[in-house]
């Protein structure tokens, strides 16, 4: 059973790694942040369009290993349409998922169970501490973008 699960997880990660979703630079993004992991050579820009406290659009560009690319891709899928608070709670919970043992998840407010279920495929990085940075890179950038200042739009 575990092996089947592992294979499924690898397929999902490879799929997102090869065909990342939301790999673009939206013209109307009003927040952005860079994530870099020099060890792996991962470099991403995460772009958010925040409106009235809601993530209306989220995308990323850059290059990285399959895990960081897959994680960024999946992140863009699960945080679109979320409020800033929900996106931050997902970041905290995902970070715990990647860094702590199963029984050790703190609660960071209400979390979208459906989203967490999809993100479970990345929890395998816990066994490889050096990969945790890959999995959480885009999330840290997203969090920084939410906490950042609006970019003056050039209209």
Q: What is the pLDDT along the chain (155 residues), one digit of tens a residue?
A: 668 878 888 899 999 999 999 999 999 999 999 999 988 899 999 999 999 999 999 999 999 999 999 999 999 999 999 999 999 999 999 999 999 876 555 566 667 888 888 899 898 888 888 899 999 999 999 999 999 988 765 44
Give the pLDDT of residue 154: 45
Which of 116, 141, 11, 111 has the alpha carbon at shortest distance from 70?
Answer: 11
**Domains contained in the chain, number:** 1
Copy the structure tokens of residue 71. 């994680």
| pTM tops 0.75 | yes
Question: Taking the CA atoms of the chain, what radius of gyration do you get in angstroms?
Answer: 15
Our measurement of the distance from residue 113's CA atom to the centroid of its chain's CA atoms, rounded to an integer in Å, reads: 15
The CATH code of the domain that includes 48 is: 3.90.1010.10
Asked if the structure places residue 155 within a domain, the reply is no
Domain residues for the domain of 67 are 1-150
């Amino acid at each position: 059973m575990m092996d089947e699960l592992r294979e499924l997880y690898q397929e999902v990660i490879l799929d997102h790694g090869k065909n990342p979703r939301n790999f673009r630079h939206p013209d109307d993004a009003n927040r952005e942040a860079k994530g870099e992991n020099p060890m792996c050579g991962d470099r991403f820009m995460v772009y958010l369009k925040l409106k009235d406290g809601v993530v209306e659009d989220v995308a990323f560009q850059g290059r990285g290993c399959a895990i960081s690319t897959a994680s960024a891709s999946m992140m863009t899928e699960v945080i679109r349409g979320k409020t800033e608070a929900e996106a931050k709670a997902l970041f905290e919970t995902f970070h715990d998922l990647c860094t702590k043992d199963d029984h050790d998840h703190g609660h960071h407010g209400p979390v979208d169970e459906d989203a967490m279920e999809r993100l479970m495929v990345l929890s395998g990085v816990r066994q490889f501490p050096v990969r945790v940075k890959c999995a959480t890179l885009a999330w840290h950038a997203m969090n920084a973008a939410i906490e950042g200042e609006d970019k003056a739009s050039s209209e």
